[in-house]
A = this chain, B = another copy of it.
Amino acid sequence: MSGTAPRTRPAATRDALVEAAFALFLEQGFERTTVDEIAARAGIGRRSFFRYFPSKEDVVFPDHERSLDDLRAALDEPGAEPGEEDPVARACAATLVVARMYAAQPDRSLLRYRLTRQVPALRSRELTVVGRYERALAEYLRRSFGGRPDGRLRADVVAASAVAAHNNALRSWLRAGATGDAVAEVDRALDLVRTAWGTGQGAGQAPEQDYVVLVARRGAPLPRVVRDLEAVLGERE
């Protein structure tokens, strides 16, 4: 960073750059827009642009750093005691932070969606950004699954599942013109992840002891199955 860079960078200027950039991308395309044009429209100099964003690509994803911080905060905030909370449920809940960022600015999200599909450099940048969310989730889950022999593997796979479910629902929302409730749709998609990977630890709403699951071969003698069932269901009485 230049030694003459201001120590504080006004958020208003940053917002003005983002607004200018998205307007220009919409008017004349991403490739044909220069950093000079973005800076000029925002009323600042070219060199000042680079105090806010390292490149033209980065201005397309202005909120991801903050969103990544929010995701990490949601993963790390004090909650239930270890062992009392399902880490998969917490990872899924934290993933909604990202959906909220998209939902807060539907027009910008839509334009970014179109841009990332048209411009390979932006698609590539987006993959990097998504990779950082996935790594933050995986790191949290590795800590949570530390005691399991397959902890690292499971953490990576669950993190990838959560990101894939999030992105699937988000893309559906974007394809539908960013109408509807993005956060609710992402949350519903994450149910698949909670069901497949949840540890069954939870805040007591539905402790697993409240259910009995019985699996019987169809050819099993009926009286024996009923006796086994009675033995289990009758425990409470």
- Give me the interface of A with B, judged by CB distance under 8 Å: 123-125, 127-128, 131, 150, 152-154, 156-157, 159-161, 163-165, 167-169, 189, 192-193, 196-197, 209-220, 222, 225-226, 229-230, 233-236
Q: A211-B215, A218-B211, A233-B225 are in contact. Are A165 and B161 (CB under 8 A)?
A: no
Nearest chain B residue, comparing its CB with the CB of A121: B124
In-complex Cβ contact of A168 among B153, B219, B236 (8 A): B153
Number of this chain's copies in the assembly equals: 2
Bound CA–CA A236/B217 (angstroms): 12
Beyond A222-B229, A226-B226, 19 extra complex contacts between A and B, CB < 8 Å? A124-B124, A124-B128, A153-B165, A153-B168, A153-B189, A153-B192, A156-B167, A156-B168, A157-B164, A157-B165, A157-B168, A160-B164, A196-B197, A210-B219, A211-B218, A212-B217, A213-B213, A214-B214, A220-B233
